[in-house]
């Protein structure tokens, strides 16, 4: 017979409960994963636009797919479902306050890129779409 003191029994029972809880939660997630909320429609232009996004350090102020920070600027998940390519291009050249639902301490500086690079960056942002509960991509109005 296994002789354990009270503290050892508590640790053993606690460990078994943690293992059982992990198995139950893992099974639930495996059987029914969380719904997809955002998608990315990749093209050759959006790939180049993503390179500009990274080279300009946009993630220092914006969060995207859980990367970066949304402390200084709004998160960009699903931005392509809220804004058109034309609006995004104009905003990147002429940033202005008041377009987000909360105030930020810093003002975004205009993006200094050549016209083609600017268009690709706007294409990249436009490709970041939101998905509704039925799995349909939401387009900007």
Between 4 and 1, the higher pLDDT residue: 4
What pLDDT digit, counting tens, does each position of 77-135 carry?
A: 999 999 999 999 999 998 877 677 677 777 888 888 899 999 999 999 999 999 998 88
Overall pTM surpassing 0.75 (yes/no)? no
Number of domains in the chain: 2
Residue-level pLDDT at 18: 97
Can you give the residue range of the structural domain that contains 108?
38-138
- Are 29 and 43 in the same domain? no
Claim to verify: residue 28 and residue 42 sit in the same structural domain: no
Q: Which residue, among 74, 71, 69, has the nearest Cα to 95 in the 3D structure?
A: 74
Q: By C-alpha distance, which of 78, 76, 75, 95 is closest to 87? A: 95
Identify whether residues 64 and 89 lie together within a single domain. yes
- 57 and 90 in a single domain? The answer is yes
State mean pLDDT over 61-79: 88
What is the rounded CA–CA span in Å between residue 135 and residue 112?
Answer: 36
CA atoms of 56 and 109, how far apart (whole Å): 11
Q: Is residue 83 domain-shared with residue 133, that is, in the same domain? A: yes
């Amino acid at each position: 017979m296994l002789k354990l003191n009270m503290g050892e029994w508590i640790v053993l029972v606690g460990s078994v409960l943690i293992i059982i809880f992990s198995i139950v939660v893992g099974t639930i997630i495996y059987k029914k994963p969380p719904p997809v909320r955002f998608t990315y429609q990749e093209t050759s232009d959006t790939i180049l636009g993503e390179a500009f996004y990274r080279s300009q350090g946009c993630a220092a102020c914006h969060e995207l797919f859980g990367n970066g920070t949304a402390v200084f600027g709004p998160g960009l998940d699903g931005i392509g479902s809220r804004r058109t390519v034309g609006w995004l291009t104009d905003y990147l050249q002429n940033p202005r306050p008041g377009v987000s639902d909360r105030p930020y301490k810093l003002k975004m500086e205009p993006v200094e890129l050549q016209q083609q690079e600017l268009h690709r960056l706007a294409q990249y942002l436009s490709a970041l779409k939101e998905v509704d509960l039925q799995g349909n991509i939401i387009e900007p109005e």
